[in-house]
Chains A and B, each alone.
Chain A
């Protein structure tokens, strides 16, 4: 989880879009609360625009990757 969050940040996806919570099957209200809170968080972040048609690769960033 820790590594994946950092990695998502690296490729430009907000780490908050990933969440892991352990909820027992006896904790219905808590489950609802967690999901609602997470849904609200994602809604506030807005769409990821992953499928937006991007321009050609940024040559400057490409040079930095070398």
Chain B
């Protein structure tokens, strides 16, 4: 399986073009991230086609960010799905990754996978395995029809389930800040569960402006099943409508927060 990927990685590793290849490995029936450094190991490579998303994806872009920081001068390869590549592009736009030091090898997601993730872009720019499937992107349009009272009631009840595990932030490929506002005592009171409502969730939502690539890992990770993705999708929609910007599409385009733009009409 995935022979074309394995061949390519072997070639890259043996010619020394990359120092390591970051991908997934199947061990004891579970996948885990693994840095392949020798061409001999590559046979263990897995692209993680599990039934559930947690057995398919990993925030590889986040791990790559740390690898690049800690091993200056070295180059790395990485296995990318559509979401991983969007994360890489967004991280490049935010100056967290030097794209010259990264070689991406793409996988297009299967139709089942793309549907399970409700993915808007289930393939990277180029891929060696898989086929392009038509994206499905159910944006939260039905929300507009609900009354503010209903929406308030809904989100209040959802936010209240939060156990403040920080899982959403920890898994997020775009959460690269060294100091996090969610750990600041000015914003979030220590030792209280649920965290300050709705500050905790709104702070995170606002910090997703120009960052969120809609990979959905946060919602997968959330032990309280808060529909975080619907919230961040809304943020993305607002940013797209007001500033015509979508994160993770063009790695040379900076987020609207970094540009002096005309103020949108009617603030």
Chain A residues within CB distance 8 Å of chain B: 1-14, 20, 49-50, 54-58, 61-62, 64-66
Contact = CB atoms under 8 A, between A and B. Distances in A.
Most chain-B Cβ atoms within 10 A of its Cβ — which of A11, A56, A66? A11
Given A2-B264, A10-B151, A12-B155, A50 B238 contact: no
Contacts of A2: 238, 242, 263-264, 267
Interface string B221-246: 00000010111001100110010000
B206 A7 contact: yes
Nearest to B154: A61
Nearest to A57: B157
B209 A12 contact: no
B155 A7 contact: no
Contact of A7 (B152, B154, B234, B267): B234
Given A11-B231, A14-B148, 4 more contacts: A3-B242, A11-B151, A56-B157, A64-B146
A7 B205 contact: yes
Main secondary structure of the interface of B (DSSP, over half): helix
Nearest to A11: B155
B182 to A, nearest CB: 16
Contacts of B206: 3-4, 7
Interface of B: 118, 138, 140, 142-143, 146-158, 197-198, 202, 205-206, 209, 227, 229-231, 234-235, 238-239, 242, 263-264, 267
A13 to B, nearest CB: 6
A61 B198 contact: no
29 contacts: A2-B264, A2-B267, A3-B242, A4-B206, A5-B267, A6-B234, A7-B238, A10-B151, A10-B231, A11-B151, A11-B152, A11-B155, A11-B198, A12-B151, A12-B154, A14-B148, A49-B152, A50-B156, A54-B153, A54-B157, A55-B153, A56-B157, A57-B158, A58-B153, A61-B154, A62-B154, A64-B142, A64-B146, A65-B140
Contacts of B149: 12
A64 B140 contact: yes
Contacts of A58: 150, 153-154, 157
A11 B235 CA distance: 11
Contact of A66 (B156, B197, B227): B227
A12 B152 contact: yes
**Central interface residue in A3, A14, A50, A66, by most chain B CB within 10 Å:** A3
Given A12-B150, A12-B155, A13-B152, A7 B142 contact: no
Contact of B235 (A3, A57, A62): A3
A57 B230 CA distance: 15
Given A5-B267, A10-B151, A62 B198 contact: no
